Amino acid sequence: MTTLRLSPEPRPLGKSGISVFPIAWGMWRLAGEDIAEARARVEAALDAGITLLDTADIYGCDTP
């Protein structure tokens, strides 16, 4: 097994001038009716330093 050492320092997001956490939270499939639960998850990610939230819905097949 290989260990990946990753600095938590923000990194530039392309040429946008925006700096983000080096790991993204893939939020695809974050769904449901409970807004408070969804908000708690997002706030927990932000509290952990995650600032790159990937909300794309194009990954994988969307069938049961």
Cα-Cα-Cα-Cα torsion 53, 12, 8, 54, nearest 10 degrees, comes to 10
Which is the catalytic residue, given 59, 60, 61, 62? 59
Would residue 45 show up in a list of annotated catalytic residues for this protein?
A: no
Cα-Cα-Cα-Cα torsion 51, 8, 38, 18, nearest 10 degrees, comes to 0
User: Which residue numbers are catalytic?
Assistant: 59
